[in-house]
Amino acid sequence: MRLSLRSKIILTLLPLGLVCLAIGGALGYRTGYTALTASIEQQLTAQREAKRQRVESYVRNQLRLTDAAGGFPVVAEASAAFLAALKAVRAAPADPAAQGAADTALEAWYQKNFVPRIDRIAGGHAEAAKLVPQDPTSRRLQADYIARNPNDPGRKDGLVAAPGGDAYDQVHARFHPILKHFVDSVGFYDINLVDPETGDVFYTVEKEVDFLSNVKTNPFGRSGFAQIVERALDPRNGGKAVVQDLTPYPPSGFGPQFFTAVPIVVDGRTIAVMVAQLDIEAMNRLLTDGGRWRESGQGETGEVYLVGEDRLMRSQSRFAQEHPEALSADLKSAGLPEATIKGIEAFKSTILYLPVKTDGVEKAFHNQIGVARYNDYRGKAVIGAYGPIEVAGLRWAIVAEQDSDEALAPVTTLRRDLLAAAALAAVALTLFALGCASVFTRPIRGILAAMVSFRDKRELRRVPVTSSDEFGDLETGYNAMADEIDARDQAIRVLNREKEQMVRSMYPATVAERLQRGVETTAETVSNVTVAVCLFDGIETPDAPISADEARERLNALFDVLLATATACGIEPVHALGGSYVAVCGLSSPRFDHADRTLAWIRESARGVSRLGADWVRDVSLRFGVASGDLDVLVFSAGHAPYDVWGRTLGVARRLAAAAAPQTAWVDESAFALLGGVDGLQPCPPVENGPSGRIASWSLPLSQAVAEAAQ
């Protein structure tokens, strides 16, 4: 006999006493749940506020120490003495043999100790010659105090003075013990003294490769160190100490570093800038309680961390320290790129490597303070207390979090105890109702289980149709709904993949990434690139015009050569228009050797064209203009080309290509400086460039490349 839904409800109605018991249990659970969750939120808020005050106090104390150090007479005296000694050493006659030995020792040290660290981060091969200082005196002193320093790495500060005994060594012997003692006393990692006029780092305590480097030149010219020197010299700071947010620092193998700086003023004149390299572990210990999370009441999964405005961590993740393998697996499951995970594993740190874009962080950067539930950077459900930190111009988000499973464990226990008590009290009342309820709720439980599986795991399960009544209709309807949701999800995934592929095919990688994050990018300036403009003559001449089909075939052959050689050399073609072809190196992927790669592409292009046949060698000539610098990537509105490149660097390359003789490449001064000692580059007369003035240029004939291809 088929029973209606109403009949089943009547048969499974619980007695009035069970209803009252259920209501009483629900009210008790709600009261306990509210009290326990309030306690959890208060605990997380207290952790957040305590750590916020610690961090703010730490930053202010470091600024006060830096201000005080900049005013010490001994620091001013040491700065003046070092500058005078360095000037005297540079003015003294050079010993070619000693200089050669120093250069050899220094380059060997860079090649063995520093270049591998740079290569591991940059993903390429850096040349030691481009990393060492250009000034001979700087190279000699680096050789004495770093390469030939007998102390182990990390203890180079143990050398009081180099054995040379010149004026710099004497000043170093006098002041180094005093400055080293000061660094050890106040807890700085290092002190650097910088010449405000030249940018030379004329003294450091730790003797890393920033010693006698120059903050205005590569490879350190764009570092946080260089930025804080510039800020310290800004008159608007009134000579006060300034702090720079954590940034990757090349001399430390691109590890994160934290700086404060203050100008050293004597008689109203700034003679130096003192840059203090702070110990980031000290601030990290403030947030992690020195790794004593459990002792500080944070349980097994609680932690407090900082996030910068770039949404990268400014402190160490607890899980990277306690469970690195599990963290890597969680980050992979959360969709973090493999390269980022490998970087965290290699450096055993999440500082400046792990992106955090949780709801709590985003609300903190919107100046909101509160407690919420969301998924953390591991993809785990957490309860987090969030808020902003603004101190000395720094703007961070601070978050205190704990996994929801652990934080709500008392609530789970309360629920279990209440249910157990209610079950014992209700046994006598529900013996008959349980049998009916089992039959009544079986279809609903199956549907609810499938719904929970979809909610928690995004797994669409189908339920069996167990009856022909209203519940059977409900099961059939749920299965139809699941089929529709599954089909819709698959269609959405396909559309998202197609959209991502379309964006990445239309734009350079940096622009495409920002567009996919939802940033309304209209222009992006990319630094340190080399632009090459190729003009080709001879495809068609006034004396020998050709048809459109013949022009297409010739241009296809030429463009195939240019594209193939560009791909082989790591060059990115931008567009071809009329009789020109534009390509860029370093646009999507930063490269140390972008100028060298561009020149290699030009030579390979000349060889490739010559291989097309004698007619091409006789009729077609290529002219190249090469310039290095910054380049603007412009994203246009709908109805236009997706993007284009613009800027002075492109204009200089176009002007040089127009001025170049056939089968030659003309390079500007910036590219020439990066190319170094390339054979065959000859100076050319300056090229007029309208209001921008003259362009200094050098010419490279391509005849040798053509001859090599012919052989």
Q: What is the pLDDT of residues 468-481, one digit of tens each?
A: 777 777 778 777 78
pLDDT digits (tens, 9 = 90+) for 316-356: 999 999 999 999 999 999 899 998 888 888 888 899 989 99
CA 194 to each of CA 197, 205, 227, 273, 361: distance values in angstroms, whole numbers, following the listed order: 9, 13, 13, 5, 37
Domain limit, last residue, from 278, 309, 342: 278
pTM to 2 decimals?
0.57
Contact of 265 with 239, CB cutoff 8 Å: yes
Dihedral of the CA atoms 482, 485, 487, 488 (nearest 10)?
170
Check whether 463 has a pLDDT greater than 80: no
Rg of the chain over Cα atoms, rounded to whole angstroms, equals 34
Question: What is the phi-psi region of residue 68: left when phi exceeds 0, alpha when psi lies from -120 to 50, beta otherwise?
Answer: alpha
- Residue 597 buriedness (CB in 10 A; 0-12 / 13-18 / 19+): buried
Would you say residue 621 lies in a domain? yes
Average pLDDT over residues 124-136: 73
**Structural element, H or E, at residue 471:** helix 470-506
pLDDT of the residue at 169: 93
Percentage above 90 pLDDT, the chain: 40
Would you say residue 419 lies in a domain? no
Would you say residue 674 lies in a domain? yes
Top-confidence residue, 80 or 419: 80
Top-confidence residue, 450 or 606: 606
DSSP 158: G
pLDDT of the residue at 203: 96
Average pLDDT over residues 182-202: 92
Would you say residue 491 lies in a domain? no
Contact of 683 with 651, CB cutoff 8 Å: no
pLDDT digits (tens, 9 = 90+) for 215-228: 887 666 678 888 99
DSSP codes joined into one string, 516-572: HTT---SEEEEEEEEEEEEEEE-SSBTTB---HHHHHHHHHHHHHHHHHHHHHHT-E
- Residue 307 buriedness (CB in 10 A; 0-12 / 13-18 / 19+): buried
Contact of 351 with 314, CB cutoff 8 Å: yes
Domain limit, last residue, from 224, 257, 278: 278
Amino acid making up residue 77: E
Please compute, for residue 499, the number of CA atoms within 13 A of its CA located in the half-sphere on the CB side. 11
Burial 467-483 (b: 16+ CB within 10 A, else e): eeeebeebbeebbeebe
pLDDT digits (tens, 9 = 90+) for 520-560: 556 788 889 999 999 988 877 666 677 878 878 888 888 89
Domain limit, last residue, from 257, 278, 299: 278
Would you say residue 471 lies in a domain? no
Find the domain containing 610 and state its range.
521-710
Check whether 505 has a pLDDT greater than 50: no
CATH number of the CATH domain containing 579: 3.30.70.1230
pLDDT of the residue at 612: 86
Check whether 158 has a pLDDT greater than 80: yes
The count of structural domains within the chain is: 2
End-to-end distance of the chain based on CA atoms, in angstroms? Answer: 97
pLDDT of the residue at 9: 56
pLDDT of the residue at 618: 78
Dihedral of the CA atoms 42, 47, 48, 53 (nearest 10)?
120
Contact of 436 with 429, CB cutoff 8 Å: no
Q: For residue 488, what pLDDT band results from cuts at 50, 70 and 90?
A: confident
pLDDT digits (tens, 9 = 90+) for 640-674: 556 678 889 999 999 999 999 899 999 999 999 89
**What's the mean pLDDT when you consider all of the chain?**
84
How far is Cα 42 from Cα 681, in angstroms, rounded to an integer? 70
CATH number of the CATH domain containing 186: 3.30.450.20
Would you say residue 572 lies in a domain? yes
Question: What is the phi-psi region of residue 613: left when phi exceeds 0, alpha when psi lies from -120 to 50, beta otherwise?
Answer: left
Would you say residue 302 lies in a domain? no
pLDDT of the residue at 637: 57
pLDDT of the residue at 229: 93
Would you say residue 366 lies in a domain? no
Q: For residue 131, what pLDDT band results from cuts at 50, 70 and 90?
A: confident
pLDDT of the residue at 576: 82
pLDDT of the residue at 506: 46
pLDDT of the residue at 52: 94
How far is Cα 288 from Cα 134, in angstroms, rounded to an integer? 43
Q: Looking at 58-67, 373-382, 439-448, which range is the least confident one?
A: 439-448
Amino acid making up residue 500: E
pLDDT digits (tens, 9 = 90+) for 248-294: 887 777 778 899 999 999 988 999 999 999 988 888 888 888 888 98
